Structure 1
Amino acid sequence: MSIEIKDIIKPENLVYKKSSLITDTPMHYCPGCSHGVANKLVAEVIEEMGIQSDVIGITPVGCAVLLYNYIDIDWQEAAHGRAPALATAIKRLRPDKFVFTYQGDGDLAAIGTAETIHSCNRGENIVIIFINNGIYGMTGGQMAPTTLEGMPTATCPFGRDPERDGNPLKMTEIVATLPGTCYVTRQAVHTAAAVRKTKKAIIKAFENQKQNKGTSFIEIVSTCNSGWKMTPVKANKWMEENMFPFYPLGDLKDE
């Protein structure tokens, strides 16, 4: 006797389904990349809050820019590092809209440092989602501002040397000190429990924007197993053992 999937998966047994906002475009991320999970969470939150027609996302350059292929909402692409500035303009012109940026560490913490800090300092009523994998993922695995001390990359193959390269930049700690930020948190998506916490953080950030509280800043510590030259499983373990001690998870500011 043959059994079809439809006979096994019945509506009353369905506990999870793909968000209707996620398009059928095949994802371009490397297998094991944290971006895919983060993308899924953004889509789920927007759908569950019922704000699909009232949200505008801004993506810059790098792996983060691919997001506009995958979620069916209004998008605006920004020049490298300029997403917070563009989000500021859009939110001020359309205060009725939910506005968020989705940026990698090479974008937000390097060429976009000024835009990030000044937008947060002004308390622009936007959400910033910051993917930190400690490397320039799309362009070949070069050292980023967030690269850990001793961490090898394409441009520091023997590891980051603070005397030569400077120290890793903790952007989340920096923006937490600014008066314009209302919610600053650091999360991850490597386990089911971490995914749930990150989703709650994204929901909270959008709720803060609804209440005009100022800037909400969510860092998601992530893996780049291709750039790190590791399997997905080893990359997650390496992140837990090396990234989390320097970039500890949890809320840094909640007003």
Structure 2
Amino acid sequence: MEVIDIIKPENQVFSKTCLMTDATLSYCPGCGHGTAHNLVMEVIDELGIVEDTIGVAPVGCSVLAYDFMNVDITQAAHGRAPALATAISRTWPNKYIFTYQGDGDLAAIGTAETIHACNRGENIVIIFVNNGIYGMTGGQMAPTTLPGMRTSTSPHGREIETMGSPLKITELIANLPGTYYVTRQSVHTHKHVRKAKKAIKNAFNNTRLKKGLSFIEIVSNCNSGWKMNPNESNNWMEENMFPYFPLGDIKVKGKLKQKS
């Protein structure tokens, strides 16, 4: 853990902890995961809850979180992070527990664990990165893949008639009584980064107040999986992902804010 000494004007010395490790980020250039990681660590640092925070990372790109986040993190089987987070939270109810998951993990193999943890209102934070594709394992179609979007398993585009519609998992769980705070953000511009950080801080404060489950979706790009450069992927995300997955708060203080 890197500690940076800062000299205050009155010559008093205090320490600021950097909660990102020194490991070089291994995500594809332009990926939103690195920014999302930084935001989570900044919030934990600013709230002064480092020693009381435990993260859960499952399978997929998100499994790399424990290489970069300098807090206690354990790994869960594919899709099972909310179940493991439930166990940890109930064992140590005064800790701050968060999961960090991708769309293939959370909304496909982990659908049951996600739905039931949210329905029970577990006092945890779920951070859900949605890039509409299985980024780590070959660019396969995910539950959140858009209509007509090409992937390695939908080379001619997602056909609604045979493959179903994209799953708006965030709107779905917002309607469950156990969820207290549900929001959808992004991290591709400075303005959106600030909003995402505010949302993450709200979520951890909800844990402190024992309000129940906070769910934060971060719509991100996957420029390598989408076969685009970073700028192209950000533009494509704005033009195609945001209309289907609109940004903003969906549920605040247990009350729905927008139609689901």
TM-score by length of structure 2 reads: 0.91
Counterpart position of 2:61: 63
Q: Check if 1:139 corresponds to 2:137.
A: yes
Secondary structure, in 3 states, of the residue corresponding to 1:183? strand
Counterpart position of 1:177: 175
Please list every run of 5 or more consecutive structure 1 residues that lacks an aligned counterpart in the other structure: 1-9, 13-17
Secondary structure, in 3 states, of the residue corresponding to 2:218? strand
Q: Check if 1:148 corresponds to 2:146.
A: yes
The residue identity in structure 1 corresponding to 2:228 is M
1:50 CA displacement: 0.7
Counterpart position of 1:48: 46
Return the alpha-carbon distance in structure 1 between the equivalents of residues 225 and 103 of structure 2. Answer: 14
Q: 1:11 to 1:112 in 2, by over 3 A?
A: same
| Contact persistence 1:19–1:43 (CA under 8 A) | no
Counterpart position of 2:222: 224
Q: Check if 1:123 corresponds to 2:98.
A: no
Q: Of Structure 1 and Structure 2, which has the larger fraction of its residues in helix?
A: 1
Counterpart position of 2:192: 194
The residue identity in structure 2 corresponding to 1:175 is I
1:19 CA displacement: 6.2
- 1:100-143: CA deviations, max 9, x gaps? 00000000000000000000000000000000000000001000
After TM superposition, what 4+ stretches of structure 1 lie above 4 angstroms from structure 2?
none
Matches within 5 A, 1:6-17: none
Return the alpha-carbon distance in structure 1 between the equivalents of residues 116 and 69 of structure 2. Answer: 28
Secondary structure, in 3 states, of the residue corresponding to 2:225? helix
Counterpart position of 1:203: 201
Matches within 5 A, 1:156-167: 156-167=154-165
Secondary structure, in 3 states, of the residue corresponding to 1:227? coil
- 1:192-224: CA deviations, max 9, x gaps? 000000000000000001011110000000000
- 1:146-176: CA deviations, max 9, x gaps? 0000000000011100111111000000000
Counterpart among 74, 78, 81 of residue 79 in structure 2 = 81
Q: Of Structure 1 and Structure 2, which has the larger fraction of its residues in strand?
A: 2
| Contact persistence 1:140–1:227 (CA under 8 A) | yes
Counterpart position of 1:244: 242
TM-score by length of structure 1 reads: 0.93
**Equivalent residue pairs, number:** 241
| Contact persistence 1:19–1:40 (CA under 8 A) | no
Q: 1:38 to 1:121 in 2, by over 3 A?
A: same
Counterpart position of 1:105: 103
Return the alpha-carbon distance in structure 1 between the equivalents of residues 48 and 8 of structure 2. Answer: 22
1:96 CA displacement: 1.2
Secondary structure, in 3 states, of the residue corresponding to 1:129? strand
Secondary structure, in 3 states, of the residue corresponding to 2:42? helix
Counterpart position of 1:21: 19
| Contact persistence 1:19–1:44 (CA under 8 A) | no
Counterpart position of 2:251: 253
Return the alpha-carbon distance in structure 2 between the equivalents of residues 116 and 11 of structure 1. Answer: 46
Secondary structure, in 3 states, of the residue corresponding to 1:216? strand
Return the alpha-carbon distance in structure 2 between the equivalents of residues 155 and 41 of structure 1. Answer: 33
Identical counterparts, % of pairs: 67
| Contact persistence 1:131–1:219 (CA under 8 A) | yes
